[in-house]
């Protein structure tokens, strides 16, 4: 790539400064493009890998209505993956390339999906806490500087917010059920609370990419600010549900106007990010198997389309 | 796809806004509602309620059990578009099953398994999760284990071609509920048949590998096809009362459609003997393949662990 003219760089900087959108055909710094590919791909992969932990319960959903809700939700996640891969393709990479990066472990996805789903309550908890945390992270991205990403996020946030309500509603319903069901909900919240807090990423002091991403308008809030917001919003919800959040340090701080809370086990976070979570290998192996098992189908579709196109040409010739 | 609750994006600055507010915009409702609310569920005078209910179970179980198998494809399809399409088909069938099971329960409450007094489990779930294998009336094509993508395509093609032919007639049922279920189902099944038909031809004419797999899948499923076209005494009874459809009466029509798809893919109709019954019975009699018990074990495990559970 030749060095950009100062004019192009100025235009780019001015667009970001006015909080306007950068579009795929606009000039952009190579590092900006790379950062976006990394972030959007990671986000797309998270949607696709995220189908697995909840998909784990579709076959065992305890009512037909819950089965329909869960299947439709997991299907929505595939749809989100599609929008995001499409947004990423506007930056000059293909879905095939991105899928390969995922199954070869060269790109990451949200670590939360490396935890197992162990009871039906987890379906509700993932909706309430995991989708809730995802929304906190993603709402600011609706205003991100890259147009296709921001527009995909608007659509995704609407659906995620809907999923979150469904998850919360499942937990509310279970809390009105039997003692066993209430215990199931509490046990699930105990397991998912800390991993949900980890979803905002490491503390700001240890987040190397935050500063540049904020300067580019890709990211608009820091990890710690979003985490605080999530905790403040979750506490009254937990009270409404009748569950206890498993943090002895959690209390309202009048002076700050926010809740004080404990820190997740960041050593565990790093272990899971580096592949040492309970489901890392399983999640990637599942994706890899589905992709490889489907290779002959994709090849057949391509061969068929080529033959049809050739036949069409012969007819019109 | 579910109805989507919309807000301006800024309204999502608080992820929890309105979470506790009673809101009518939730797809699938916020509480269990009688899916037949407002529909005339009375059984025509000259129709045997038990036969009507059993017939609804047959059609409902076909949809429920195939939906269970199709949902196993979720996150396993060759590409995202097919993952979404198979989930759509599973969701359509699940929707049909819910209405049909609810209709069965309304027509003949004695078919609904009893649970402890005060159990909040609704009728459709009692029928889905608390009946035993021999009480399921689905055809065996619905239950056999999943194979590769060619297998699911061939299975959906056979199933939707047959069910669409049935539902086109069932729209004229004297039972208002069945007529309404069929009217809605026809549109769904037309899509299922179209999706599977296009893929059938694509695989048949794609690569050598895809053709080989497709022919193998079709050959393996073919012995289950005659069971779909046979008329069970209950089906005969409801057909005579003009509330149901005898499959034998739509056999020719279904065969013609299949022949058209086969011709487009240059596929010849397999020559395989029909799969035999067990002690004179098939799926419609509650006599299933060995895999059915395991399918139900998975489907029913959580519900059965909580007979008084509220979901």
A295 within 8 A of A99, measured Cβ to Cβ: no
What six digits make up the tokens of B311? 């979901």
Contact B76 A162 (CB under 8 A): no
Angle at B268 between CA B264 and CA B270, to 5 degrees: 135
Alpha helices in A254-294 (DSSP H): 266-271, 280-293
Q: What percent of chain A has pLDDT over 90?
A: 85
Q: How far is CA A259 from CA A245, A246, B86, B231, B268, in A?
A: 13, 14, 45, 67, 70
Residue B6 banded pLDDT, cuts 50, 70, 90: very low
CA dihedral (B34, B40, B42, B43) in degrees, to 10, reads: -110
Q: Is residue B238 in some structural domain?
A: yes
Q: Tell me the chain B residues in contact with residue A72 when contact means C-beta distances shorter than 8 Å.
A: 1-2, 27-28, 87, 91
Write down the pLDDT at residue A3: 66
Q: What percent of chain B has pLDDT over 70?
A: 88
Q: Is residue B247 in some structural domain?
A: yes
Report ipTM (2 d.p.).
Answer: 0.94
Q: How far is CA A97 from CA A112, A208, B10, in A?
A: 24, 26, 34
Q: Is residue B133 in some structural domain?
A: yes
pTM: 0.93
- Residue owning tokens 């012969």: A314
Check pLDDT > 50 for residue B24.
Answer: no
Q: Tell me the chain A residues in contact with residue B74 when contact means C-beta distances shorter than 8 Å.
A: 51, 55, 58, 71, 74-75
A60, A67, A98, best to mutate vs chain B, most B CBs in 10 Å: A67
C-beta neighbour count of B162 within 10 angstroms: 26
Alpha-carbon gap: A1 to the closest alpha carbon of chain B (Å): 34
B140 within 8 A of B282, measured Cβ to Cβ: yes
Contact A181 B306 (CB under 8 A): yes
Q: Is residue B28 in some structural domain?
A: no
Write down the pLDDT at residue A224: 94
Q: Tell me the chain A residues in contact with residue B207 when contact means C-beta distances shorter than 8 Å.
A: 296, 299-300, 303
- Among A4-18, A182-196, B52-66, which is the least confidently predicted range? A4-18
Contact A297 B210 (CB under 8 A): yes
Write down the pLDDT at residue A312: 87
Q: Mean of the per-residue pLDDT values for chain B?
A: 91
Q: Tell me the chain B residues in contact with residue A307 when contact means C-beta distances shorter than 8 Å.
A: 205
Write down the pLDDT at residue B15: 44
Write down the pLDDT at residue A206: 83
| Distance from C-alpha of A55 to C-alpha of B72, rounded to nearest angstrom | 8
A238-285: per-residue pLDDT in tens?
999 999 999 999 999 999 999 999 999 999 999 999 999 999 999 999
Counts of helices then strands in chain B (DSSP H, E) = 10, 0
Residue B34 banded pLDDT, cuts 50, 70, 90: low
Contact B310 A154 (CB under 8 A): no
- Residue owning tokens 């009874």: B237
Contact B9 A303 (CB under 8 A): no
Write down the pLDDT at residue B205: 97
B251-271: per-residue pLDDT in tens?
999 999 999 999 999 999 999
Q: What is the mean pLDDT of residues B217-230?
A: 98
B132-185: per-residue pLDDT in tens?
999 999 999 999 999 999 999 999 999 999 999 999 999 999 999 999 999 999
Contact A299 B207 (CB under 8 A): yes
Check pLDDT > 90 for residue A218.
Answer: no
Among the partner residues A72, A81, A303, nearest to B80 by beta-carbon distance: A81
Q: What is the mean pLDDT of residues A215-222?
A: 80
Q: What is the H or E stretch that residue A258 is in?
A: strand A258-260
A21, A48, A64, best to mutate vs chain B, most B CBs in 10 Å: A64
A99-146: per-residue pLDDT in tens?
999 999 999 999 999 999 999 999 999 999 999 999 998 888 888 899
Tell me, rounded to whole angstroms, the distance of Cα B72 from its chain centroid. Answer: 14
Write down the pLDDT at residue B11: 41
Domain that holds residue B195: 46-305
Residue B2 banded pLDDT, cuts 50, 70, 90: very low
Q: How far is CA A187 from CA A8, A39, A125, A192, in A?
A: 55, 32, 10, 9
A148-178: per-residue pLDDT in tens?
999 999 999 989 999 999 999 999 999 999 9
CATH number for B212? 1.20.1260.10
Q: Tell me the chain B residues in contact with residue A159 when contact means C-beta distances shorter than 8 Å.
A: 4
| Distance from C-alpha of B87 to C-alpha of B73, rounded to nearest angstrom | 8
Strand segments, DSSP code E, in A63-175 are: none
> What is the number of structural domains in chain B?
1
β-sheet bridge partners, residue A251: A260
Q: Is residue B173 in some structural domain?
A: yes
B274 within 8 A of B223, measured Cβ to Cβ: yes
B68-103: per-residue pLDDT in tens?
999 999 999 999 999 999 999 999 999 999 999 999
Q: Which residue has the higher pLDDT, A212 or A183?
A: A183
Write down the pLDDT at residue B40: 77
Write down the pLDDT at residue B225: 98
Q: Coil, helix or strand for A295? A: helix
Q: Is residue B148 in some structural domain?
A: yes
A60, A297, A298, A304, best to mutate vs chain B, most B CBs in 10 Å: A297
Contact A301 B202 (CB under 8 A): yes
A133 within 8 A of A10, measured Cβ to Cβ: no
| Distance from C-alpha of B151 to C-alpha of B172, rounded to nearest angstrom | 33
Q: Mean of the per-residue pLDDT values for chain A?
A: 94
φ, ψ dihedrals at A146, nearest 5°: -90, 120
Angle at B25 between CA B21 and CA B28, to 5 degrees: 110
Q: Is residue B183 in some structural domain?
A: yes
- Give the residue from B235, B237, B260, B265 showing the smallest Cα distance to B250: B235
B4, B8, B12, best to mutate vs chain A, most A CBs in 10 Å: B12
A35-77: per-residue pLDDT in tens?
999 999 999 999 999 999 999 999 999 999 999 999 999 999 9
Q: Is residue B12 in some structural domain?
A: no
Check pLDDT > 90 for residue B20.
Answer: no
B193 Cβ neighbours under 8 A, 6+ residues apart? B157, B160, B161, B164, B257
Residue B35 banded pLDDT, cuts 50, 70, 90: low
Among the partner residues A75, A161, A289, nearest to B12 by beta-carbon distance: A161
B190 within 8 A of B278, measured Cβ to Cβ: no
């Amino acid at each position: 790539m030749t060095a950009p003219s100062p004019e192009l760089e100025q235009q780019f900087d001015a667009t970001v400064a006015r909080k306007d959108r950068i579009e795929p055909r606009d000039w952009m710094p190579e590092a900006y493009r790379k950062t976006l590919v990394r972030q959007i791909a990671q986000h797309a992969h998270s949607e696709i890998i995220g189908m697995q932990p909840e998909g784990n319960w579709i076959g065992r959903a305890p009512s037909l209505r819950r089965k329909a809700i869960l299947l439709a939700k997991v299907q929505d996640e595939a749809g989100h993956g599609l929008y995001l891969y499409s947004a990423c393709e506007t930056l000059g990479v293909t879905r095939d390339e991105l899928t390969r990066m995922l199954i070869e472990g060269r790109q990451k996805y949200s670590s939360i999906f490396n935890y197992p789903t162990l009871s039906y309550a987890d379906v509700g908890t993932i909706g309430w806490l995991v989708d809730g945390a995802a929304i906190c992270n993603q709402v600011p991205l609706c205003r991100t500087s890259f147009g296709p990403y921001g527009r995909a996020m608007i659509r995704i946030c609407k659906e995620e917010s809907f999923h979150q309500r469904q998850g919360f509603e499942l937990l509310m319903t279970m809390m009105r059920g039997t003692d066993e069901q209430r215990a199931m909900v509490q046990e699930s919240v105990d397991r998912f609370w800390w991993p949900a807090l980890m979803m905002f990423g490491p503390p700001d002091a240890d987040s190397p990419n935050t500063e540049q991403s904020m300067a580019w308008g890709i990211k608009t809030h820091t990890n710690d600010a979003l985490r605080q917001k999530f905790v403040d919003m979750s506490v009254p919800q937990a009270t409404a549900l009748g569950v206890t959040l498993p943090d002895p340090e959690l209390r309202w701080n009048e002076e700050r106007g926010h809740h004080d809370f404990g820190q997740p086990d960041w050593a565990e976070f790093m272990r899971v990010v580096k592949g040492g979570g309970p489901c890392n290998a399983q999640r990637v192996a599942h994706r890899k198997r589905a992709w490889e098992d489907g290779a002959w189908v994709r090849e057949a579709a391509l061969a068929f389309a080529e033959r049809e196109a050739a036949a069409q040409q012969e007819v019109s010739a | 796809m579910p109805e989507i609750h919309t807000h301006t994006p800024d309204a999502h600055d608080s992820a929890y806004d309105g979470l506790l507010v009673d809101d009518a915009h939730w797809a699938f409702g916020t509480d269990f509602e009688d899916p037949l609310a407002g529909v005339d569920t009375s059984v025509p005078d000259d129709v045997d309620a038990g036969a009507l209910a059993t017939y609804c179970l047959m059609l409902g179980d076909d949809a429920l059990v195939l939906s269970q198998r199709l949902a196993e494809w979720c996150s396993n399809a060759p590409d995202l578009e097919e993952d979404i399409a198979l989930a759509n088909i599973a969701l359509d069938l699940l929707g049909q099953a819910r209405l049909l099971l609810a209709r069965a329960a309304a027509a003949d409450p004695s078919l609904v398994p009893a649970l402890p007094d005060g159990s909040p489990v609704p009728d459709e779930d009692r029928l889905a999760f608390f009946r035993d294998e021999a009480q399921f009336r689905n055809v065996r094509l619905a239950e056999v284990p999943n194979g590769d993508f060619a297998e699911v395509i061939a299975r959906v093609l056979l199933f939707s071609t047959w069910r669409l032919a049935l539902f086109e007639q069932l729209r004229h049922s004297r039972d208002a509920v069945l007529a309404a279920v069929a009217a809605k189902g026809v549109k769904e099944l037309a899509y299922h048949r179209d999706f599977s038909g296009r893929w059938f031809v694509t695989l048949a004419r794609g690569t050598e590998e895809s053709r080989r797999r497709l022919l193998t899948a079709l050959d393996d499923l073919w012995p289950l096809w005659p069971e779909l076209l046979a008329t069970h005494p209950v089906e005969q009874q409801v057909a005579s009362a003009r509330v149901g459809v005898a499959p034998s009466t739509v056999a020719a029509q279904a065969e013609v459609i299949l022949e058209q798809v086969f011709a487009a893919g240059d596929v010849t109709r397999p020559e395989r003997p029909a799969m035999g019954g067990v002690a004179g019975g098939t799926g419609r009699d509650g006599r299933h393949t060995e895999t059915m018990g395991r399918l139900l074990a998975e489907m029913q495990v959580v519900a059965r662990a909580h007979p008084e559970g509220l979901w």
